[in-house]
Amino acid sequence: MDWRRGKSILIISFLILNILLAGRLYFIPEIEMYLSLAGRPSLEAVFYALQTHGIATDREWPRSATRMPFTQVSLRRLAAGEIMTLRQRMLGDQTVPQTEQVVPTDDKPLSFTAGQRDLVVTARGHVSFHNRAVLPSPGGVSAEEAMRIAGTFFKTELGNPGDFVFDSVTALDNASYRVEYVQTFRGHRVFPGYIIIIVQGQEVAAMWMSRLNVAFEAGGAKVVLPAAEAVLSLLNHRLNARVEGQMEIVDIEFGYHSPIYDAADPSWRGVPVWRIRTKDGVFFINAHSGVLES
Amino acid sequence: MWEKLKSLTLLGLILTSFYLTGELWLVHYSPPTPGQQQGEYREPHPLEIMMPTAIKIHFATESRAYSPGETGFNETWDFLRSMISGGHMVSVRSITERDWLRAYALGSIELKLAGPVQMRMWLEALSVQPSGLSTDHRMDRVMTSIHSNHVYFWDTERGVFIAWENAARQDQPSRVRDLTSQHLLAASTNWPGQEVRPLAPNLRAQAAAWVYVPADPGLWPQLLARHERGQNNHLIAGFFPDWSLVRRVVQRDGRVAFTDGQRHAYLHPDGAVRYVATSWFHPLHDINARASLILASALSFVARHGGWPAEVRMNYMGVEQPPGGLAQINFSFVPYTSFTLEGRSQFVPIVAREKQVSLTANERHVSDYERLVYLPIDVGASPTRIITPEAAVRVVERNLLPGILITDIYIGFYQRPIDAAAEFLFPVWVVKQGRQMFLVNAYTGEIVSR
DSSP character string of A19-78 = HHHHIIIIIHHHHHHHTTTT-PPPHHHHHHHHHHTT----S------SEE--EEEEE-PP
3-state secondary structure (DSSP) of residue A289: coil
Q: Give the per-residue pLDDT at B108.
A: 94
Question: Which range among A262-271, B70-79, B122-131 has the greatest average pLDDT?
Answer: B70-79
**Are residue B215 and residue B290 in the same domain, yes or no?**
no
Question: Which range among A80-84, A215-219, B109-113, B235-239 has the greatest average pLDDT?
Answer: B109-113
- Per-residue pLDDT for A36 more than 50? no
Instruction: Give yes or no for B324 touching A (CB within 8 A).
Output: no
Kind plus residue range of the DSSP H or E element containing A176: strand A176-185
Report chain A's mean pLDDT, rounded to a whole number: 86
Instruction: Give yes or no for A28 touching B (CB within 8 A).
Output: no
What mean pLDDT do residues A288-294 have?
90
- Per-residue pLDDT for A136 more than 50? yes
Cross-strand pairs, A269: A72
The residue count of chain A comes to: 294
Report chain B's mean pLDDT, rounded to a whole number: 88
**Are residue B162 and residue B202 in the same domain, yes or no?**
no
3-class SS string, chain B = CHHHHHHHHHHHHHHHHHHHHHHHHHHCCCCCCCCCCCCCCCCCCHHHHCCCCEEEEECCCCEEEECCCCCCHHHHHHHHHHHHCCCECCCEEEECHHHHHHHHCCCEEEEEEEEEEEHHHHHHHCCCECCCCCCCCEEEEEEEECCCCCEEEEECCCCEEEEECCCCCCCCCCHHHHHHHHHHHHHHHHCCCEEEECCCHHHHCCECCCCCEECCCCEECCEEEECCHHHHHHHHHCCCCCHHHCEEEEECCCCEEEECCCEEEEECCCCCEEEEECCCCCCCCCCHHHHHHHHHHHHHHHHHCCCCCCEEEEEEEEEECCCCCCCEEEEEEEEEEEEEECCEEEEEEEECCCCCEEEEECCCCEEEEEECCCEEEEECCCCEECCCHHHHHHHHHHHCCCCCCECEEEEEEECCCCCCCEEEECEEEEEEECCEEEEEECCCCCECCC
Q: Give the per-residue pLDDT at A3.
A: 86
**Are residue B448 and residue B365 in the same domain, yes or no?**
no
Task: Give CA–CA dist B120/B139, Å, rounded.
Answer: 10
Q: Measured between CA atoms, how close is B2 to chain A, in angstroms?
A: 10
Q: B17 contacts in A (CB within 8 Å)?
A: 14, 17-18, 21
Q: Which of residues 247-266 of B touch A (CB under 8 A)?
A: 247-254, 257, 260-262, 264
Q: Measured between CA atoms, how close is B228 to chain A, in angstroms?
A: 24
Give the residue numbers spanning the domain of B421.
198-224+374-450
Residue B19 falls in which region: left (phi positive, over 0), alpha (psi -120 to 50) or beta = alpha
> Searching chain A, which residue's CA lies closest to the CA of residue B8?
A11
Instruction: Give yes or no for A261 touching B (CB within 8 A).
Output: yes
Contact state of B9 with A11 under an 8 Å Cβ cutoff: yes
**Are residue A235 and residue A282 in the same domain, yes or no?**
yes
Dihedral angle over CA of B131, B133, B135, B140, nearest 10: -120
Contact predicate A120/A128, CB 8 Å: yes
**Are residue A139 and residue A156 in the same domain, yes or no?**
yes
The C-alpha angle B105, B110, B112, rounded to 5 degrees, equals: 135
Look at residue B321 and tell me if it is in a domain.
yes
The β-bridge relationship of strands B408-414 and B344-351 is: parallel
Give the residue among B54, B144, B156 at the shortest CA–CA distance from B108: B144
- The interaxial angle of helices A227-240 and A43-52, nearest 10 deg, is 40
**Are residue B145 and residue B209 in the same domain, yes or no?**
no
**Are residue A51 and residue A117 in the same domain, yes or no?**
no
Give the residue numbers spanning the domain of A199.
76-212
Count of domains for chain B? 3
Instruction: Give yes or no for A124 touching B (CB within 8 A).
Output: no
**Are residue A221 and residue A129 in the same domain, yes or no?**
no
Name every residue whose Cβ is closer than 8 Å to that of residue B256 and which is 6 or more positions away in sequence. Answer: B248, B249, B250, B266, B267
**Are residue B299 and residue B270 in the same domain, yes or no?**
yes
**Are residue A193 and residue A244 in the same domain, yes or no?**
no
Q: Give the per-residue pLDDT at B120.
A: 87
Look at residue B294 and tell me if it is in a domain.
yes
**Are residue A88 and residue A29 in the same domain, yes or no?**
no
Q: What share of chain A is helix, strand, coil (3-state, %, to 5)?
A: 30, 35, 40
Query: CATH code at B277?
Result: 3.30.310.160
Contact state of B6 with A8 under an 8 Å Cβ cutoff: yes
State phi, psi for A250 to the nearest 5 degrees: -90, -55
Look at residue B387 and tell me if it is in a domain.
yes
Would you place residue A265 in the very low, low, confident or very high pLDDT band (cuts 50, 70, 90)?
Answer: confident
Contact predicate B200/B403, CB 8 Å: no
Q: B20 contacts in A (CB within 8 Å)?
A: 18, 21-22, 25
- Per-residue pLDDT for B427 more than 90? yes
Q: Give the per-residue pLDDT at B419.
A: 77
Q: Give the per-residue pLDDT at B39.
A: 53
Dihedral angle over CA of B32, B36, B38, B41, nearest 10: 180
**Are residue A203 and residue A266 in the same domain, yes or no?**
no
Count of domains for chain A? 3
Between A168 and A294, the higher pLDDT residue: A168
Between B213 and A5, the higher pLDDT residue: B213
Q: Which of A8, A237, A288 sits opposite B245 (nearest CB)?
A: A288
Q: Quick one: how far is CA A244 from the chain centroid?
A: 29
Largest alpha-carbon pair distance within chain A?
A: 94
Q: Which amino acid is at B319?
A: V
**Are residue B205 and residue B236 in the same domain, yes or no?**
no
Give the residue among A206, A195, A126, A115 at the shortest CA–CA distance from A158: A195
Note the pTM of the prediction, 2 decimals: 0.82
The C-alpha angle B173, B175, B180, rounded to 5 degrees, equals: 145
Would you place residue B30 in the very low, low, confident or very high pLDDT band (cuts 50, 70, 90)?
Answer: very low
The β-bridge relationship of strands B54-58 and B138-145 is: unpaired
Q: Give the per-residue pLDDT at A100.
A: 67
Q: How far is CA B251 from CA A267, A272, B40, B132, B355, in A?
A: 11, 22, 35, 51, 22
Q: How far is CA A246 from CA A45, A75, A185, A243, in A?
A: 20, 38, 34, 9
> Searching chain A, which residue's CA lies closest to the CA of residue B279?
A237
Look at residue B36 and tell me if it is in a domain.
no
Q: Which of B313, B345, B373 is the last residue of a domain?
A: B373
**Are residue A170 and residue A184 in the same domain, yes or no?**
yes
Q: Which of A7, A14, A191 should one mutate to test binding to chain B, selecting the residue with the greatest count of B CBs within 10 A? A: A14
Would you place residue B91 in the very low, low, confident or very high pLDDT band (cuts 50, 70, 90)?
Answer: confident
Look at residue B349 and tell me if it is in a domain.
no
Q: Give the per-residue pLDDT at A21.
A: 86
Look at residue B301 and tell me if it is in a domain.
yes
Instruction: Give yes or no for A135 touching B (CB within 8 A).
Output: no
Would you place residue A35 in the very low, low, confident or very high pLDDT band (cuts 50, 70, 90)?
Answer: very low
**Are residue B167 and residue B100 in the same domain, yes or no?**
yes
B158 by Cβ neighbours in 10 Å (0-12 / 13-18 / 19+) ranks as middle
Task: Give CA–CA dist B90/B129, Å, rounded.
Answer: 9
Look at residue B29 and tell me if it is in a domain.
no
- Per-residue pLDDT for A38 more than 50? no
Contact predicate B406/B431, CB 8 Å: yes
Q: B264 contacts in A (CB within 8 Å)?
A: 294
Look at residue B2 and tell me if it is in a domain.
no
**Are residue B134 and residue B203 in the same domain, yes or no?**
no
**Are residue A126 and residue A174 in the same domain, yes or no?**
yes
Question: Which range among A50-59, B32-41, B355-364 has the greatest average pLDDT?
Answer: B355-364
Query: CATH code at B433?
Result: 2.40.128
**Are residue B184 and residue B214 in the same domain, yes or no?**
no
**Are residue B98 and residue B180 in the same domain, yes or no?**
yes
Contact predicate B332/B114, CB 8 Å: no
Q: Give the per-residue pLDDT at B173.
A: 67
Give the residue among B409, B348, B391, B407 at the shortest CA–CA distance from B196: B409
State phi, psi for B29 to the nearest 5 degrees: -85, 125
> Searching chain A, which residue's CA lies closest to the CA of residue B244?
A220
Would you place residue A28 in the very low, low, confident or very high pLDDT band (cuts 50, 70, 90)?
Answer: low
**Are residue A195 and residue A181 in the same domain, yes or no?**
yes
Give the residue among B55, B82, B348, B81 at the shortest CA–CA distance from B187: B55
Contact state of A289 with B280 under an 8 Å Cβ cutoff: no
Centre a 10 Å sphere on the Cβ of residue A168 and count the other Cβ atoms it contains: 14
**Are residue B368 and residue B378 in the same domain, yes or no?**
no
**Are residue B146 and residue B163 in the same domain, yes or no?**
yes
Contact state of A14 with B27 under an 8 Å Cβ cutoff: no
The C-alpha angle A288, A291, A294, rounded to 5 degrees, equals: 120
**Are residue A58 and residue A169 in the same domain, yes or no?**
no
Q: Measured between CA atoms, how close is B247 to chain A, in angstroms?
A: 6
- Per-residue pLDDT for B2 more than 90? no
Lowest mean pLDDT among A177-181, A240-244, B252-256, B356-360: A240-244
Instruction: Give yes or no for B279 touching A (CB within 8 A).
Output: yes
Q: Give the per-residue pLDDT at A276.
A: 94
**Are residue A208 and residue A81 in the same domain, yes or no?**
yes
